[in-house]
Structure 1
Amino acid sequence: MSRIRLEVSKELEDIMPLFLDTVSKNISSIHDALQSGDFETVRTLGHRMKGAGGGYGFDRVTELGREIEIAAKESNAARCRSLNEELSQLMANTDIVFVDKPL
Structure 2
Amino acid sequence: MNNNGRDNFAVEIDDVLRPIVPDFLESRRNDCILIQQFLGEKDYDQIRLLAHRMKGTGGSYGFDEISEIGEIIETASLAADPETIRAQLQRLTEYLERVSVVYVQL
Common fold: TM-score over 0.5: yes
Q: Alpha carbon RMSD of aligned pairs, Å? A: 1.1
1:16 aligns with 2:21: yes
Where 2:49 maps in the other structure, the secondary structure is: helix
Where 2:66 maps in the other structure, the secondary structure is: helix
Match of 1:31 among 19, 36, 39: 36
Unaligned 5+ segments in structure 2 are 1-5
CA distance in 2, matches of 1:4, 1:67: 19
Q: Normalization by structure 2: what TM-score? A: 0.90
The 4+ residue runs of structure 1 with deviation greater than 4 A are none
Unaligned 5+ segments in structure 1 are none
1:74 aligns with 2:71: no
Match of 1:45 among 42, 47, 50: 50
Identity of aligned residues (%): 31
1:89 aligns with 2:94: yes
How far off its partner does 1:12 sit? 0.3
Aligned equivalent of 2:3: none
Aligned equivalent of 1:59: 64
Higher RCO, 1 or 2 (CA under 8 Å, sep at least 6)? 1
